[in-house]
């Protein structure tokens, strides 16, 4: 008798677990049970007990039943709450106040529980990061004794309403047969914060820094902000146009001689400092080629408002091809142009790097 009671209890608990689990029904009649991890209206990730995380194409789903009310966040920032069914490329949300509301899949930003929604809006600085580390290295010995190290770190912290981007790039080339041994040393870094004003328009503020030994640039700081437009925003392509103002402070190490006013003079310093307002005009493109390759391109133009005809321009073109979930192959081409470099320096710096990409998500 005791054994029968134990068996009955196990069956009841098992049925309770199934009832309490989130369930999705597919067009072919199959049913999957588990816990909805996330969904963006294109795919749905369901965590199952035996198969782990299962990703399902949203177009294959006819019904979603959850043990908690689901929130559907639209691209226009409006949120609907209630049971969900899907049909003909749209989601039907049975809300309590508005009745059944239809939402095209293309207008869905996220689907999840209240806890998922709060996490997406305010994920916290320790979570929600994605990006990668690029590493390239070369070494030559014999007639040449040179080494080259290229390192790049890019991290993005997106939420439903804003995005924070941090980046750092460093290229160091040494030739031990030359004097001095370090023949190239370029370091760039910065951060930018974007906040959505509506589905297409966003505001941005940021700061960028650069040091370039080949141009005798000790440090350039660019601080600015403006408005951006999502000219194209689809699953495979994102094109942003940006315009704004910036304040630039730059110091070169080989300017005209300056004798400090001291009695007697104790040293002679060399240097020139520029401070000016400039425009920020740019475009950024991200395009997915197939399942494994991403192409990124950025073009920025910074005309000096104080000295007409003087300007800077930067161009970046890169690709990352996935080899595995966390490893990829990256290529990067960069052109840095300055219309008024110091005497003896060239206007253009062309940089080509290739190597491995280590992606991360936290």
Query: What pLDDT was estimated at residue 260?
Result: 56
Whole-structure pTM value: 0.69
Query: What pLDDT was estimated at residue 358?
Result: 92
- The domain ranges of the chain are 2-121, 130-361
Q: Edge-to-edge strand order for the sheet containing 79-81?
A: 79-81, 71-74, 108-112
> How far apart are the C-alpha atoms of 350 and 337, rounded to whole Å?
9
Query: What pLDDT was estimated at residue 60?
Result: 83
What is the fold, at CATH topology level, of the domain defined by 130-361?
Answer: Porin (2.40.160)
Confidence of residue 310 (pLDDT cuts 50, 70, 90): very high
8-46 per-position pLDDT tens digit: 444 443 444 444 477 888 888 888 888 877 777 678 888
Separation in Å, CA 137 to CA 6, 219, 353: 64, 25, 9
107-129 per-position pLDDT tens digit: 777 777 666 666 655 666 777 78
Q: Edge-to-edge strand order for the sheet containing 31-39?
A: 52-57, 43-48, 31-39, 22-26, 61-65, 84-87, 90-94, 100-104
Strands 201-212 and 182-196: antiparallel
């Amino acid at each position: 008798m005791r054994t029968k009671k134990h068996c009955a209890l196990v069956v009841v608990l098992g049925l309770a677990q199934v009832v309490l689990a989130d369930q999705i029904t597919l067009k072919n009649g199959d049913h999957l049970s588990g816990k909805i991890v996330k969904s963006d209206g294109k795919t749905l990730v369901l965590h199952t007990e035996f198969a782990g995380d299962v990703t399902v194409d949203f177009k294959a789903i006819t019904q979603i039943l959850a043990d908690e009310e689901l929130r559907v966040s639209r691209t226009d920032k409006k949120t609907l709450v209630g049971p969900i069914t899907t049909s003909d490329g749209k989601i039907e949300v049975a809300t309590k106040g508005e009745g059944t509301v239809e939402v095209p899949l293309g207008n869905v930003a996220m689907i999840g529980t209240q806890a998922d929604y709060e996490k997406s809006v305010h994920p916290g600085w320790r979570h929600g990061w994605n990006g990668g580390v690029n590493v390239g290295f070369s070494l030559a010995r014999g007639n040449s004794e040179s080494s080259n190290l290229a390192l790049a770190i890019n991290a993005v912290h997106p939420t439903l309403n804003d995005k924070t981007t941090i980046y750092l790039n460093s290229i160091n080339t040494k030739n031990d047969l030359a004097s001095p041994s370090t023949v190239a040393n370029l370091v760039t870094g910065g951060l930018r914060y974007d906040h959505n004003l509506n589905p297409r328009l966003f505001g941005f503020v940021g700061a960028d820094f650069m040091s370039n030994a080949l141009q005798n640039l000790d440090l350039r700081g660019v601080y600015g902000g403006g408005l951006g437009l999502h000219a194209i925003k689809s699953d495979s392509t994102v094109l942003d146009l940006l315009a704004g103002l910036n304040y630039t402070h730059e110091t070169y190490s080989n300017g005209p001689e300056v004798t400090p006013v001291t009695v007697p003079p104790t040293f002679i310093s060399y240097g020139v400092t520029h401070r000016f307002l400039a425009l920020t005009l740019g475009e950024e493109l991200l395009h997915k080629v197939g399942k494994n390759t991403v192409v990124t391109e950025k073009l920025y133009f910074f005309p000096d408002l104080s000295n007409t005809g003087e300007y800077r321009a930067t161009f970046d073109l890169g690709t990352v091809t996935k080899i595995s979930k966390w490893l990829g192959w990256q290529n990067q081409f960069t052109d840095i142009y300055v219309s008024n470099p110091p005497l003896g320096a060239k206007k253009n710096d062309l940089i080509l790097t290739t190597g491995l990409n280590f992606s991360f998500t936290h």
